[in-house]
C-alpha cells in the first residue's frame, strides 16, 4: 500500500465540504441566530415564563448551547435542542413582541435538512471523539469506523424512507449534495 490518508483529516475534509454547501451554511447561520436570540437575558426570561404558562409550570425549557468555532461537533447539542424543542420555539416566536422575530424560526424544509444533517454527522462525531482519545490513530481503526458509518447511513436511509413527507414538494439538491459528499468521504476512507 503506497499511501494511506489520515482518517481524521479525511473526515474533517468531508465535514468541511458539507459545511460549504449553500443550504447548510444558511442553516448553520440561522441556528446560530436562534441561539443568540434566546441567549439574551430578557428573551430567556420571557421564554421561560411563556413555556411554563403554556405547557405547565413543571417544565423548565432547555437553553440553546453555544458552539465552539473550532469544533464542528460542538454544534450537535444546539441542533438537538432546536430539533426537540422546535414547537416551543415556534410558539414563542409567534407570540413574542407580536411575532416580530418570527422570521428567526426554522421552516419545515430547514427542519428536515437539520434532521438529515444531524443524522449524518452524529456518527462522525462519535468516530471523531474516539479518535481524539487516541495518541496516534492507526489503520486498525479503519474497518470499525467504516462499518459504523455504513450502519448509521443504513439506519438514516431507513428512517428517511419511513418519513417521505419532509421533502415533498422540495428541491432535492441539498440531500443529493450531502449524499454525494458522504459517498466521497466513504471512498476516501476505503
CA dihedral (153, 67, 82, 88) in degrees, to 10, reads 160
Q: What is the pLDDT of residue 76?
A: 87
- The answer on pLDDT for 167 being more than 50 is no
Q: What is the rounded CA–CA span in Å between residue 188 and residue 5?
A: 8
Where along the chain do its domains lie? 7-189
Answer for the pair 114, 107: CB distance below 8 angstroms, yes or no.
no
Grid cell locating 45: 426570561
| 47-58 per-position pLDDT tens digit | 999 999 998 878
58 secondary structure, DSSP code: T
Q: What is the rounded CA–CA span in Å between residue 21 and residue 28?
A: 11
H helices, E strands: number in the chain? 8, 0
Is 0.85 topped by the overall pTM?
no
User: What's the chain's average pLDDT?
Assistant: 78
- The answer on pLDDT for 169 being more than 70 is no
Q: Is 54 helix (H, G, I), strand (E, B) or coil?
A: helix
Give the ranges where 21-169 is alpha helix by DSSP (H). 22-39, 41-55, 76-84, 86-95, 108-132, 142-162
Average pLDDT over residues 95-113: 92
The radius of gyration of the chain from alpha carbons, rounded to an integer in Å, stands at 19
Residue 12 pLDDT level (bands cut at 50, 70, 90): confident
Higher local confidence (pLDDT), 62 or 171: 62
Amino acid at each position: 500500500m503506497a499511501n494511506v490518508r489520515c482518517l481524521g483529516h479525511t473526515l474533517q475534509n468531508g465535514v468541511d465540504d458539507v459545511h460549504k454547501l449553500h443550504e447548510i451554511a444558511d442553516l448553520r447561520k440561522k441556528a446560530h441566530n436562534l441561539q443568540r436570540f434566546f441567549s439574551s437575558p430578557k428573551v430567556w426570561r420571557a421564554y421561560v415564563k411563556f413555556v411554563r404558562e403554556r405547557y405547565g409550570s413543571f417544565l423548565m425549557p432547555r437553553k440553546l448551547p453555544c458552539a465552539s468555532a473550532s469544533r464542528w461537533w460542538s454544534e450537535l447539542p444546539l441542533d438537538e435542542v432546536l430539533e426537540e424543542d422546535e414547537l416551543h420555539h415556534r410558539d414563542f416566536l409567534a407570540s413574542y413582541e407580536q411575532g416580530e422575530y418570527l422570521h428567526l424560526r426554522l421552516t419545515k424544509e430547514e427542519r428536515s435538512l437539520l434532521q438529515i444533517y444531524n443524522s449524518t454527522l452524529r456518527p462522525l462525531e462519535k468516530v471523531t471523539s474516539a479518535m481524539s482519545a487516541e495518541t496516534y490513530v492507526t489503520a486498525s481503526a479503519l474497518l470499525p469506523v467504516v462499518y459504523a458509518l455504513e450502519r448509521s447511513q443504513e439506519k438514516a436511509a431507513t428512517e428517511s424512507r419511513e418519513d417521505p413527507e419532509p421533502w415533498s414538494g422540495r428541491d432535492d439538491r441539498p440531500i443529493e449534495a450531502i449524499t454525494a459528499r458522504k459517498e466521497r468521504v466513504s471512498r476516501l476512507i476505503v
